Structure 1
Amino acid sequence: MARKKGREISGWLLVDKPAGVGSTDVVGRVRWALDAKKAGHAGTLDPDATGLLAVALGEATKTVPYLTEALKAYDFTVNWGAETATDDASGEVLQRSDARPSARAIHDALPVFRGDIMQVPPAVSAVKVDGARAYDLAREGEDFTLAARPLWVEELTLLATRDDQADLRLVCGKGGYVRAIARDLGRALGCLGHVHSLRRVWSGPFDVADAIPFERIDRTAQAELDSALLPIQAALDLPQMRASDQGAARIANGNPGQVLDHGDYGAEVWVSHDDRAIAIGRYMGGEVHPSRVFVRP
């Protein structure tokens, strides 16, 4: 008997991931619930983290890189007084400190972590070291050093403080580790620290307020999930160009095609026809040269 391949369905489904569930598990559950042929996500959340996970289905997977590059916002709580092997509450405590920072000290330390910074990822992360994942090497007890990587931090704000904790919001670009921020902030304050809880509240144009709770996925009818799908272009912060009938036919085959709108020469755009996204490409003098074509079922 031939294996069932699933439906040719495309779009974005926003899911509010709970703690204790992996990002890959969320994608698998969504794919099963929608009987989708293809699915992926834009930006892994740690199993203990909660919040927005944007799941791309079908042709929307071709737009994942655009969401990966977008700014993302996280609300997180730091526990003071201990540094752990994983830089979060699940790891073995490596060092302890009796020191506790004041709200003023925390506030004054934050500017160093804004703008263009260099960040060393947590030892337990997906960063590759000589072809192997850092988290695998850490589990095997290997001795290795991760190099610092550039990160853009748009915002790092103190929201609230308690005796042993602080609540913060981070808005950052691609490749940021909240756990590393908590670790480095604890070191800078001389009190040590690690992430107690973490929640992604938005990513690019997507907000967790619009997401479906993960536990509802199995209890929601397929037709209702279909209606919750956002279109392919929802992840794209690009100008729209409308293709002519003839242009749409050429673009669908990967060739330059005529568009009805005008824009900046060489600008990256997304192209629509009959109110549906058909491609991403470069606008060049009345035509769009496609780089990614969305196949229609």
Structure 2
Amino acid sequence: MTASSSPTQAGSGRPKVPRRLLDGVLLLDKPVGLSSNDALIRAKRLYRAKKAGHTGTLDPLASGLLPLCFGEATKFSQDLLDADKTYEATMRLGIRTATGDAEGDAVETRDVTCAEAAVRDAMTKFVGDIVQVPPMYSALKRDGKPLYEYARAGQVVEREGRQVTILALEMIACDLPDVTFRVTCSKGTYVRTLAEDIGEALGCGAHLVMLRRTGVGALTLEHAVTLDTLSDADDATRDAWLQPVDALLSTFPAVTLDDEASRRFMHGQRLPLNELVADRAQWGEVQRVRVYGDDARLLGVAKAANGVLAPERLVVSAAT
């Protein structure tokens, strides 16, 4: 890690806070009430990082895992945008709201006459590939404008259903009208829409009152840190919370190159795969892999296909 060092802010005469060239991944436990972008800004300021980005938004109503990427790690943030997510959530049966969650006004109230067994049975019908209609209060755009802007103006626009995958869905607790569940789902899934659809299947409606993200791909809350903890820490302690860049790539098979092959790879050259990996039958026909030099430094990500290792994204500086 290195720091830039412009001495003063232009025209102010005040010392300029140096920005650091920082590479790594921060597993942040975002609090309720803070947007993902605001959380990113606060963390970036604490680390005095030159470059940072997040790996997909988490609503202000939601808490939990928000991986933040610094420096070279930002090149791989798309891999987490595409990753499966795991949440713990609580839905309240019997009340529908304008937004599908507790932030919206109630628009309909119905009696809850179902028992726990009926809730469990209804939930099983939502496991697998399902079609969701995106909510009006979402950031999806129509004619260049987010849907939530139409919703706030009292307009409802037609939305096409989209296929998503519910990989796992289990009840954690049932204290009717509240039901707490855990769900692992594909990218693009709206958990509040899932809660609403389960409520409709039960004939009483529902809305989401709590949402906490516990996993993104292979990353979990186990090693996450809060903004309060970061604020109270010194630089060395904060830096210790950073995961290496390849924490984003742990599910990819690894390939290690010698010095000459590393040099060619870093110049963007395609390499003969058969000479690098003896047994890759378990990879399938096409596989993205993480590539290391023989000093264990991450060089980047490549596509392994048709007997060739083709560079995709390279790491310019050493991983933290």
TM-score range, shorter chain: over 0.9
Cα distance in 1 for partners of 2:148, 2:135 equals: 9
Q: What displacement does 1:75 show?
A: 0.6
Cα distance in 1 for partners of 2:222, 2:93 equals: 29
Gaps of 5+ in 2: 1-8, 11-15
* Pair 1:27-2:40 in alignment: yes
For 1:15, the equivalent position in structure 2 comes to 28
Q: Decide which of 249, 258, 263 is 1:244's aligned counterpart.
A: 258
For 2:3, the equivalent position in structure 1 comes to none
Q: What displacement does 1:100 show?
A: 3.7
Please give the secondary structure, in 2, of the residue aligned with 1:37: coil
Cα distance in 2 for partners of 1:284, 1:108 equals: 43
- After TM superposition, the structure 1 = structure 2 runs for residues 31-50 of structure 1, keeping only pairs within 5 Å, are 31-50=44-63
Q: Decide which of 287, 294, 309 is 1:267's aligned counterpart.
A: 287
Cα distance in 2 for partners of 1:98, 1:296 equals: 60
Cα distance in 2 for partners of 1:285, 1:194 equals: 49
Q: What displacement does 1:283 show?
A: 3.0
For 1:202, the equivalent position in structure 2 comes to 215
CA RMSD across the alignment: 1.9
For 1:278, the equivalent position in structure 2 comes to 299
* Residues 180-215 of structure 1: per-residue CA shift (max 9 Å, x gap): 011111111011100011101111111112100122
For 1:294, the equivalent position in structure 2 comes to 315
Distance 1:4 1:248, change over 3 A: farther
Q: What displacement does 1:6 show?
A: 2.4
Distance 1:100 1:47, change over 3 A: farther
Q: What displacement does 1:60 show?
A: 0.9
Mean alpha-carbon deviation: is it higher for 249-258 or for 187-196?
249-258
Cα distance in 2 for partners of 1:267, 1:168 equals: 34
Does the CA contact (< 8 Å) of 2:17 and 2:48 recur in 1? Answer: no
Cα distance in 1 for partners of 2:264, 2:23 equals: 21
Q: What displacement does 1:94 show?
A: 0.9
* Equivalences, count: 297
Distance 1:193 1:250, change over 3 A: same
Gaps of 5+ in 1: none
* Pair 1:192-2:208 in alignment: no
Cα distance in 1 for partners of 2:146, 2:166 equals: 25
Please give the secondary structure, in 2, of the residue aligned with 1:194: strand
Please give the secondary structure, in 2, of the residue aligned with 1:88: coil
For 1:253, the equivalent position in structure 2 comes to 267
Q: What displacement does 1:121 show?
A: 1.7
Cα distance in 1 for partners of 2:304, 2:117 equals: 51
- Residue type matched to 1:226 in 2? D
* Pair 1:99-2:108 in alignment: no
- Residue type matched to 2:297 in 1? R
> What TM-score do the two structures reach when normalised by structure 1?
0.94
Q: What displacement does 1:284 show?
A: 5.6
* Residues 76-125 of structure 1: per-residue CA shift (max 9 Å, x gap): 01111110111001101111112242101101111221101001122111
Cα distance in 2 for partners of 1:285, 1:223 equals: 45
Distance 1:140 1:285, change over 3 A: closer
Please give the secondary structure, in 2, of the residue aligned with 1:142: coil
- After TM superposition, the structure 1 = structure 2 runs for residues 128-167 of structure 1, keeping only pairs within 5 Å, are 128-167=141-180
Distance 1:253 1:20, change over 3 A: same
Percent of aligned positions that are identical:
36
Q: What displacement does 1:5 show?
A: 7.4
Distance 1:286 1:246, change over 3 A: farther
Distance 1:285 1:103, change over 3 A: closer
Distance 1:196 1:269, change over 3 A: same
* Residues 128-153 of structure 1: per-residue CA shift (max 9 Å, x gap): 11221111221222231221111010
